[in-house]
Amino acid sequence: MDARLNYFAGPTAGKAIKHFMAVGKALKESPLPATTQELVALRVSQINGCALCIDMHARELAATESPVRPHLVAAWREATVFSDAERAALELAEEGTRVADAAGGVGDEVWATAAKHYDDEQLTALVILICLMNTANRLNIITRQPAGLAVRE
């Protein structure tokens, strides 16, 4: 499959993507734990069906985690390998991604649970990450960015 667009080929996309990537860098430097960031990025991408991001974030997790946790992200509610804080982040990510499915958006209980585990700075990073991943997923899906190009042997 070939991508419909090369985001780095034109000046408009190049300028926009540069800023988009800067947001990602700022999040990496935030106090939100890196593993939580990757778990959330993977879960949002699974919900949206973004193969490129699923591949990227599963690989990122696999570099620092046992294979069990990345494989269980889609079934985190039934899995025993996630902390309460990670579960709160994953639940917030799901509700923040499925806003069209939930009439009231993110519920108060979900927010309160996340707020028990994360301070305001971490919550800010988490919300921005959820939004950023939803945007990245849509950019990649609309333009059919391929995944799995660098498959491990």
Q: How many CB atoms lie within 10 A of CB 68?
A: 10
pTM of the model: 0.91
- Which spans in the chain are helix H? 11-28, 34-48, 51-64, 68-72, 84-97, 108-117, 120-142
Higher pLDDT, 14 or 144: 144
Among candidate residues 60, 4, 59, the one with its CA nearest the CA of residue 34? 60
- Residues 135-147 have pLDDT tens digits of 999 999 998 888 8
Q: What stretch of H or E contains 63?
A: helix 51-64
Q: How confident is the model at residue 152 (pLDDT cuts 50, 70, 90)?
A: very low
Coil/strand/helix, residue 40 = helix
Q: What is the pLDDT of residue 103?
A: 67
Architecture of domain 11-142: Up-down Bundle (1.20)
Which of 40-54, 83-97, 136-150 shows the lowest mean pLDDT across its residues? 136-150
d(CA 63, CA 65): 6
Q: How confident is the model at residue 17 (pLDDT cuts 50, 70, 90)?
A: confident
Q: How confident is the model at residue 153 (pLDDT cuts 50, 70, 90)?
A: very low
Average pLDDT, the chain: 91
Q: How confident is the model at residue 79 (pLDDT cuts 50, 70, 90)?
A: very high
Higher pLDDT, 22 or 14: 22
